[in-house]
Chains A and B, each alone.
Chain A
Amino acid sequence: MLRGELGEARQLAMEIVSKVGDAVGADELVPIKSAHVLAHYSSLHDAGVDVLERFAESGGRFAVPTSVDPASIDLQNWKSFGIGEDYARQQFRLCEAYAKMGGMRCWTCAQYQVCNFPKQGDVVAWAESSAVVFVNSVLGSRSNKITAGMDIACAILGLTPRFGMLLDENRHAGVAFKLGLKGLTDLDYRSIGFYIGRNAGARVPSLVGLPTSVTSDQIKHLGAGAAAAGPVTMIHFPGITPGSRTMTDASRGERVEEIEITRSSLSDTEADLNQTSEFPDLAAFGVPHLSVNELGELARLLDGRKMKKGAKMYAYTSSQAYDMAERTGISATIERTGARISHSTDAEISPLRALGFSTVLTNSAKLAEIVSSEGEIKVGYASQKEIIERVTS
């Protein structure tokens, strides 16, 4: 393509994508079926507003279906969650630039459960580390973990450099994790993921021993834990991952290191993530976003209970699951306890400290990891059941 034919936004996009392609030694740019981008103010900052507006105002339009990670505020009810006007204004500038480029108004980190459904073999360019694990491991589509700035560039071009997880030779398992535990709790799934992320290094892991009853929600949280702890972008689940019926399929017949996940591996992981047993001012569920099924389960657990004084409970979800929960009475049950559902945003990308929270309790390994590395908010890590027992009566 000649530079002059591209228009300014596409020229800028091509400059980013081709520099990245050179850096990673990609031989070519290949078409993508969809993109998933970032447009939340807490991480993009004012510089991100400059970048998105520059793309949008210079004619940038997404060439493929594009979804977006949660915003830093509940886009509907932000005032009632205590968000300030100035902060909201910058987030809405990002929303407008994103909408102008033609993005789907689907602000979620579990887009594969809501609005962005690639099929086996599709190449996509997704940001959001937890979603990249899901798309590679469960759907059998192919994505690298696409970084902010490059995400928009790939979406505008409809192209991505061919490298990393797009190539067969980088997708075989290089380490096998074995799980012999029964009766896994919600917290166990997150801790298993986190343990894998910590111990796989740069190798693609496989995992055997999950119960056949495992749900896509449980795998979502397992993958999010793994991606939060290390560079993991794919986990082979023999019997689930397309092309990997067995461990041998996953490693393409190679013998690889085996690591047993024991009860003590999980207790150590929990102890590492659980930094306080103090009574929390926020109990947070839904990093990544809860599905409507998970909201229903939360409603069943909360039914008839009341929040204790001093604690808030937020369950984070997509706008689409929120609407469904409203229509089916799930929201009413949750809200009767004093808990709230927040949609189109998520805990780890909302300004928790500015909102006055100093101690957060969660069953999300991802949220616990992010909050603890910032060192400003104390974090407790416990199962959903235990959290409900501690903050409600």
Chain B
Amino acid sequence: MSGEGKTVSNTKNKYPWSNYTLKLGRGEPVSTTQYVLYAVQIAAVIILSYLSVVLLGPLSYSGISLFYFVYPFFLVFTMWWGIWGILGAYIGCVVGAGLMVGLGPVASGAYAISDLIPPLIAFIVYRGLLANRGIDSLWRDLTDKEVAGFKTNRVAAWVLFIAINGVIINAVSAELGVGIENYLGLIPPGAFWGWWAGWFFGDLLAMIIITPVLVKGLTNLVERQGLINRGWIT
């Protein structure tokens, strides 16, 4: 029958990722499958947040982990699923890295805002600004020389990745998170910068090591299933 063996092209635009923008979505309502997927990913982030804090035992303190490995997850989920990934980041932190490790609802609800900001900014910067300048908004150019036939610039991709996500956004997040904990009296005044450094480097390390693994291992799978959001919502 006609159509068999043809290659399906993602886009007629300049870059293979040009379909992924800052619009609201595909113009379709959220399907039941997507609805379920977003709920399940929030559950996954909750578990991973919890494991990020407790698995490293002596290397974590008061909700701060020196290897906060859930961080790259909700970054990647946001790049795939927009607002749902951001929601997952927030709820994941409140429940998994807050309530389940004993921080109480007030403290958890407040300092989880610092986990909401990084994916939000990353989504806007990459899809709104960098995607039209040859940088893949799905970060495949961190690991692949080519994306759907388009040659990538891995060096630029890594430099921007570390500068934007690893340094700038991470620093903002650490400042916010540790600041909130300080305001609530959870941190000794003399220890602010020690905690800040723990937060900053804990996230940075996890981001550099795990993001490429996730992107390489899963983005293609998610895209093949048609599950990458075109915009914020769908």
* Co-assembled chains A and B: no
Give me the interface of A with B, judged by CB distance under 8 Å.
none
Give me the interface of B with A, judged by CB distance under 8 Å.
none
